[in-house]
Chain A
Amino acid sequence: MAGVTLKGVTKEYDNGFRAVDDLDLDIEDGEFLVMVGPSGCGKSTTLRMIAGLEEISEGELRIGERLVNDVHPKDRDIAMVFQNYALYPHMSVADNIGFALKLAKSPKDEIAKRVGDAARLLELTEQLDKKPAQLSGGQRQRVAMGRAIVRQPQVFLLDEPLSNLDAKLRVQMRAEITDLQRSVGVTTFYVTHDQIEAMTMADRVAVINAGILQQVAPPQTLFDEPDNLFVAAFIGSPSMNLMEAVVTESGGAYGLQLGSQSVELPASVMTSRPALRDHIGRTIVAGIRPKEFEDAAIVPGHPAGQRIRAKVENVEALGYERIVHFGLDAKQVIQEDAMDLKDDAEVLQHDGGSRIAGRFDPASTVRAGEDVEIAVTSEETHFFELETGLAIRN
């Protein structure tokens, strides 16, 4: 088995459009790496370059130690699962799975054995004689997986393999694919536009936008320490609340000015983010996740300085929590390309202000139209430069 290394990989089309720009990425041996980004961001192009279906304009692509820029797809020792499965309609399931082995002139009994093994692993034994058209979506998906694993390749490439399935099946197949990957331990590069898929399946997630890699990190790190505004807005649901703010200092105490209101910042915020000191008094972007807001009535002990007052605009009671939307007069920062993708995207521009989402305890009794006090865990605030969108940390 082998890892995949991309060094300065670029895809430029004849018309000068750069689908992928100077991409450096190291997929470790046996790793499950998910590349996620909005449509047209270059993620599928990246995958197709690794597969050899798309030419690399610049840069180096290595599988293991071998430079494969000019190697034919069939000689790259990779297997790919397509978004629409790309099963051969005229072949039975068994022939579909065994086609690569047959082309490689493997002995018949060997083919039968390996196809049988793969079918058992994927619970397709009953379907081996059927044609793809007679299978359900989930079964076709499994045949496509079987076709990939039967070859025991160095690398799996999966191109949005779950996007044609219904929601319930998608959740189930998510688990099946991760289990399968763990059990065969093959280096896997998985492309999706669904951040939940990325977060739940990946060892590491690579976020890409407009052909440029934004951040590569394990899911939790991506959530806790987004490198820039795009990642911050893209990862997490509901999205991080992003608004313009100013960090203030007076007599050794720090505060965060959100529009006309101010929230105290504990000293730990400044010590853990040394770079923030340079931005005091300047307009920056503050990012606060919905989970950092709470109905002040639920947490009576919350420090008095870390509270704001706002008018509740809308409450979505989900049973286990309440998503409460409220208005602030701080200017909202909108990451449109990141929001496009999200089911819950609510890009509502308030006249100069922000619409903030908070996740309140179900015990909260706030109602739309009320003016309420909201506790803010300001310690977990994320800070970004306004001009560049980069995180301010150290």
Chain B
Amino acid sequence: MVEDDGRQVLDATGIDPGSEQPRSARSAFLGGLLALVLVVAALSLLYITFKFLRDSDANRGLIVIVAVVVGVVGVWVLYWIMDLVINQLPAGWQEGVRPFAFVGPAIVILVVYLVYPAVNTIIISFFDATSDEFVGLENYGFVFTDDAMLRSIRNTLGWIIIVPAVAVSTGLVFATLVDRLRRGEAFAKSLIFLPMAVSFVGASIVWRFIYSFRPEGFGTQIGLLNGIKVGLDQAPTAWLSNDPWNNLFLMVIMVWLQTGFAMVILSAGIKSVPDSIIEAARIDGATELQIFWKVIIPTIMSTIVVVTTTMVITVMKVFDIVWVMTSGETGTEVIAERMIREFFRNGNFGRGAAIAVILFLAIIPIMLLNVRRFRAEEALR
């Protein structure tokens, strides 16, 4: 080992190519193999548990406990093993690879549950009802030619414009007025916020009773509005079949649900405007109305934009209200309702997917607006 000079020098530096390196390579190989086995073992254990839980007829409580234990401990073990594997890698690689090991599972889940379905939706939107035959753009042709579809696009546009506009402005007025209350602010706010706690379906059922209509000879009017009308000696109105106004009546439900949300966020925005700015404006000669329009509104503009865009996105996806109230009959179709109908009622996957893709594309600009506005605000901070 120390026969020639070269080797001796290497020896002196502590790197002995003769014995040290092969041993470390061997141990690294063994370690890696072991780690790989462990990973496979852990994954199969998780899979077996999953199968067992899915197919088991055992006591539900037991299943839940097993799921929680195996899930939590399993994930922990998985991370631990992956860390172990990384420690077997060459030193130069370790820190480069480690972040991916920890972010990896999240990315996998994201891909499986978000990216894959999105891509798959796009693909099946080019196939026929049963996803067997490629039909090109036919489904998209349907989206933009079918009468009900066109009505749903028209209606959704109406929803997007009217609901956020009304809900945000009402919320803003409430927030401003409530802010000036000496006491009872919390109570007033809770009252307006209360509908937020009701699900869309629940709210729809409540409002069915408000809009309820019975043709003559089919019993007394039990609906609130028609009750009042009949009480005033007027003929009852079939609120929900009165195209196009029935769309407005459905939007009222959404406004009722969403105003509280707008109010709470905007109220926080208004409260964050420093008193001194308002006092400065007062001294500068602004009236209270001018302070509202020229100082408060511009200062909380970013909040208003965020609330509005969030609401636009919610409204774009509205389905439950229409489904429960009118089933999309009498000219009240909306895009999301059409999507569900094509997918699950008509079993036409191609068309359903095409509508979903259109809805998705329509939401992107709003998201971009939100993000850009947010970045501009951050820069001003």
Contacts and interface: CB of A to CB of B under 8 A. Distances in A.
A133 B299 CA distance: 13
B282 A84 contact: no
Contacts of B284: 74, 99-100, 103, 147, 151
B296 to A, nearest CB: 10
Task: Give the interface size class of chain A.
Answer: 20 to 34
Contact of B295 (A73, A88, A104): A88
Nearest to A72: B282
A89 interface: yes
Interface string B5-31: 000000000000000000000000000
A201 B181 CA distance: 42
18 contacts: A53-B282, A53-B283, A74-B282, A74-B283, A74-B286, A78-B283, A80-B279, A86-B277, A87-B277, A88-B281, A89-B277, A99-B281, A99-B294, A100-B284, A103-B286, A104-B285, A133-B381, A147-B284
A91 B281 CA distance: 12
A301 B108 CA distance: 92
Interface string A77-99: 01110111011111100000001
Contacts of B158: none
Contacts of A103: 284-286, 290
B280 A82 contact: yes
Which DSSP category, helix, strand, loop or mixed, fits chain A's interface?
A: loop
A345 B69 CA distance: 62
Given A79-B283, A86-B280, A89-B299, 20 more contacts: A53-B282, A53-B283, A73-B282, A74-B282, A74-B284, A74-B286, A80-B279, A83-B276, A86-B277, A88-B299, A89-B277, A89-B380, A90-B299, A90-B301, A99-B284, A100-B284, A100-B285, A103-B285, A103-B286, A103-B290
A52 B283 CA distance: 8
Interface of B: 274, 276-277, 279-286, 290, 294-295, 298-299, 301, 380-381
A131 interface: yes
Contact of B380 (A79, A83, A86, A131): A131
A51 interface: yes
A73 B285 CA distance: 8
B299 A82 contact: no
A51 B299 contact: no
Contacts of A78: 283
A79 B280 CA distance: 9
A74 B285 CA distance: 4
A267 B279 CA distance: 57
Contacts of B276: 82-84, 86
Interface string A120-161: 000000000001010000000000000100010000000000
Nearest to B302: A90
